[in-house]
Amino acid sequence: MRSGRGNDTGLNAVERQAAYSLSALFFLRMLGLFMILPVFAIYAEELPDVTPLLVGLAIGIYGLTQALLQIPFGMLSDRIGRKPVLIAGLLIFAVGSAVAASAETIYGIILGRALQGSGAIAAVIMALAADLSREQRRLRIMAILGISIGIAFAASMVMGPILNSLIGVPGIFWLTAVLALGGIVIVAHVVPAPAESHVHRDAEAVPGQFGKVLREPELLRLDFGIMTLHMSLTAMFLAYPLALQALVEENAHTWVYLPVMLLSMAAMIPFVILAESRRRMRPVFIGGVAALVGASMLMFGYHDSLAGMVLGLLIFFTAFNLLEATLPSLVAKIAPGERKGTAMGVYSSSQFIGAFLGGALGGWFHTRYGIDGTFLLCAAMAAIWLLVAWGMSEPDYLSNYLIPVGLLDEDQAFLLEGELKNLDGVAEAVVIPEDRVAYLKVDLKRVDQEVLDGYAVQG
């Protein structure tokens, strides 16, 4: 049909600034949410009128408010701008942290954690990243954001016990409030201002697409998976710190978490390469879920043994890191390009619902059946997931590829769509004139990206 200007490789200055400043926001916020995980169950034993169920609610309640508000916050930012919503969300997060830090009862901490989750800015960050990036470079920026989340989670597992020994859990909450205020400074002075903000179907949820996304069995299977993964994580941390406390002095817990996190992150890399580069996603994925079952059973059977607990945690986090990396990759492979943002929105909400359910259900099991019952619950949830995941088929190894195509009428869009579909390595192509974007699913091992970029029209 026509050939536009090709695109330079790599990120430009604005994209780099956006990627790293928004990654810093994610990093600070994830630290604030997760640093209490390895220490809160121990701290909460000293609070008045505490029960394991209330401890579980305190840990997981942020997931409920986050799940309810993250998509509406993203949509609100389409109307009034990204930065005002980001700043408001960080202020709410800071207030929630201060409430939790000041609380003298478990109920005050539950309220504070609920407010922390109400500062639901994840979808807004993704939308702003899309505003500040060219279509062909967007996946690279999203990958940088994803890496920052993984690093923040690993860091929080190590930093939580260290900070607890220095400033205590209330001090961690106060530090979280300070980090949120630091995030506001980053938004105001470091994050670039977009020239315009609009809906990006590849990065944001679109209300009219929820029905189609929720009717896709393979996507629902993945939504169930991420929900179960975070149910298991939250429930496990209601029991693991208490079991570890009986084996190791509390101020030495860091020396359990630090090597486990480093080794688990290194151990999962070969499996990710095998799944993605060697295209063995299904067996690697199924193996990861099975490893969760094994790790939970190991902690159930040997929670009075330090070696058993350390080995169980190492297997658990190797599987967790592997599944946390492969699940969004599977969503991206399965969801049509023009519905990827909606699919990821539902997926993220499922993750946060899982954190809430893990806290509530794990707390109930801990109340009724103790530490043993909590570990057994984690094993049972993972076993159910294994049965659900077993029916998955080997995915098509397709990647999303976006091309800006400029202003087209319906006939031109139809012709371009047909032309793109005929290119070698292009499995799907949808051109949406109002978006001025072509949404493609491509096999990166076959497609000629220079040919694709030749269709790009900037401006």
How far, in Å, CA of 128 to CA of 196, rounded?
A: 10
Range with the lowest mean pLDDT among 282-286, 378-382, 391-395?
Answer: 391-395
Confirm if 405 and 453 have CB atoms less than 8 A apart.
no
Sign of CA dihedral 361, 364, 365, 371: positive
How far, in Å, CA of 384 to CA of 68, rounded?
A: 25
| pLDDT tops 60 at residue 238 | yes
Q: Which two tokens stand for residue 325?
A: 């990396």
- Reported as type and span, the H/E element at residue 448 is none
How far, in Å, CA of 246 to CA of 224, rounded?
A: 34
| pLDDT tops 80 at residue 9 | no
**Amino acid in the structure at residue 35:** M
Mean pLDDT of the chain: 92
How far, in Å, CA of 307 to CA of 159, rounded?
A: 22
Domains of the chain with bracketed CATH: 11-204 (1.20.1250.20), 210-397 (1.20.1250.20), 400-453 (3.30.70.100)
The pLDDT > 90 percentage for the chain reads: 75
DSSP code of residue 393? P
Phi-psi region of 209 (alpha: psi -120 to 50; beta: other; left: phi over 0): alpha
Confidence band (pLDDT; 50, 70, 90) for 307?
A: very high
Sheet holding 437-442, edge to edge: 399-404, 437-442, 426-432
Q: What is the pLDDT of residues 40-68, one digit of tens each?
A: 999 999 999 999 999 999 999 999 999 99
How far, in Å, CA of 370 to CA of 357, rounded?
A: 18
| pLDDT tops 50 at residue 6 | no
Bridge partner residues of 399 (DSSP): 442
How far, in Å, CA of 429 to CA of 37, rounded?
A: 43
Q: How many Cβ atoms are within 10 Å of 75's Cβ, its own excluded?
A: 18
Q: What is the pTM of this model?
A: 0.92
Local structure of 25: helix, strand or coil = helix
Select the more confidently predicted residue: 297 or 393. Answer: 297
Confidence band (pLDDT; 50, 70, 90) for 87?
A: very high
φ, ψ of residue 432 in degrees (nearest 5): -110, 110
Please name the residue that has the structure tokens 């979808």. 123
DSSP for 212-260, written as a single string: HHHT-HHHHHHHHHHHHHHHHHHHHHHHHHHHHHTTS-GGGTHHHHHHH
Q: Which two tokens stand for residue 5?
A: 């200007």
Range with the lowest mean pLDDT among 132-141, 353-362, 393-402?
Answer: 132-141
How far, in Å, CA of 409 to CA of 68, rounded?
A: 38
For residue 141, how far is the Cα from the chain centroid?
15
Bridge partner residues of 401 (DSSP): 440
Confidence band (pLDDT; 50, 70, 90) for 32?
A: confident
Local structure of 305: helix, strand or coil = coil
How far, in Å, CA of 358 to CA of 228, rounded?
A: 8
Q: What is the pLDDT of residue 11?
A: 86
Q: What is the pLDDT of residue 374?
A: 96
Q: How many Cβ atoms are within 10 Å of 48's Cβ, its own excluded?
A: 8
DSSP for 270-294, written as a single string: HHHHHHHTS--HHHHHHHHHHHHHH
| pLDDT tops 80 at residue 459 | no
Q: What is the pLDDT of residues 110-126, one digit of tens each?
A: 999 999 999 999 999 99
Give, in order, the Cα–Cα distances in Å from 301 to each of 193, 304, 308, 376, 379: 54, 8, 8, 9, 11
Phi-psi region of 30 (alpha: psi -120 to 50; beta: other; left: phi over 0): alpha
Confirm if 456 and 136 have CB atoms less than 8 A apart.
yes
| pLDDT tops 70 at residue 2 | no
**Dihedral in degrees, nearest 10, Cα atoms 339, 457, 122, 191:** 180
Mean pLDDT of 114-142: 90
